[in-house]
Structure 1
C-alpha cells in the first residue's frame, strides 16, 4: 500500500512540476518574426497551371493559393496551427502554399484565407498572428470563399 501511495505521490509531483515549468508559447508553431530579407530566395507559391489536378478540384483550393500569392510576406510571418512544422518541417504558413499542403489541409487553407482577408483590412502581420493564435480563422467558410 505504501508503494502505491508513494508512486501516486511521485506521479502528482511530476505532473505539477511539468505544469509549473511548461510554457504555452512553446506550443506556437514555427514562423518568422519579420519579413524575409530582400536577398532571401524563397520557393515560389504554387500558381497558374500548377493549380490543377487532384489537389485543386474544389474552387476554394485554387482561391486560397491565388490569395496566398498576393500576401507571401505576410504568410512568412505567420504560424500554421496544423503543426506541419513538426511533421513536414515547414517554417511558416507560407511553406504550406509552396506545395500542395495548403490545398489538402483545411486549417492551412482557412489560415491563409484569414491572413489575406485581414491584410486587405489593413491588419499587420503581428495583429493577424494574434488572430490566428485566438483561432479567429476558424470562422472562414471555405465553400463560401470558392464561390460555391
Structure 2
C-alpha cells in the first residue's frame, strides 16, 4: 500500500518524490536523454581522436617506403644480372611489353638498384630494390614492377637522377605508363 499524499500546504514529504520535485517533467525527459547521448558521443569521438593522435606519434613513416639502396653499388660490386636473351621466353613472357621492359632494365641496372618497388616484393619476396625484380621473372609477372622499370628507363633517358626518379615513383607517376603501347612500339621498331 502506498503512503498517503500530504495535504495541501503540508511540509511532509512522501516516500516517492514526484518528478516535478527535482525540476523534471515528462516534457524535459527527452532532452535530458538526448543530452546524455550527445555527451557520450562527444566523449567517444574525443577518445578516438586522442588515440589516433597518440598512435601517429609512434608510427614510423619510413615503414611505408619499400626497400632500396641510397647510392649506386660500390666500385667493383657486381649486381645480379638482369634476365636477357633466351631467358626472356617461356610462361612468364606472353606479351611484347614484358620482353621490352627487361631490355630497358638491362640498360639501367645501377639506377634500378637505387629505386624502391611499390608492389611490396621487399616484404613478400625479400627483394632489396627494383633491380631484384628484373634479376628473376617477377618483373614480367607484376605490372607494378614493369611500369616502374619502364618509368625509370624513360626518366633516365630524360636526364633525371635516381633521386628524382625515386621521388616520381613515390608519388605514383609510374602508373601513367602504358605497357601495351610500350610493347607495340618495341615490335614496330624490330
Identify whether the pair has TM-score above 0.5, normalized to the shorter chain. Answer: yes
Query: Number of paired residues?
Result: 145
Partner of residue 123, structure 2: 86
Q: 1:55 aligns with which of 86, 92, 97?
A: 92
**Match 2:163 to one of 126, 132, 144:** 126
Q: Distance in 2 between matches of 1:19 and 1:28?
A: 16
- Tell me the CA shift for residue 19 of structure 1: 1.5
For structure 2, the 5+ residue unaligned runs are 1-40, 186-190
Q: Structure 1: which 5+ residue stretches go unaligned?
A: none
Query: Aligned residue for 1:135?
Result: 172
The 3-state SS of whatever aligns with 1:94 is helix
Three-state SS of the structure 2 residue aligned to 1:95 is helix
Given candidates 127, 147, 150, the residue that maps to 1:113 is: 150
Superposed displacement of residue 18, structure 1: 1.3
Over the aligned positions, Cα root-mean-square deviation in angstroms equals 2.0
Query: How far apart are 1:11 and its partner, in Å?
Result: 6.4
Following the alignment from structure 1 to structure 2, what is the Cα–Cα distance between the partners of residues 63 and 130? 24
Paired residues for 1:30-69 under 5 Å? 30-69=67-106
Partner of 2:37: none
Structure with higher Rg: it is 2
CA separation in 2, counterparts of 1:41 and 1:73? Answer: 10
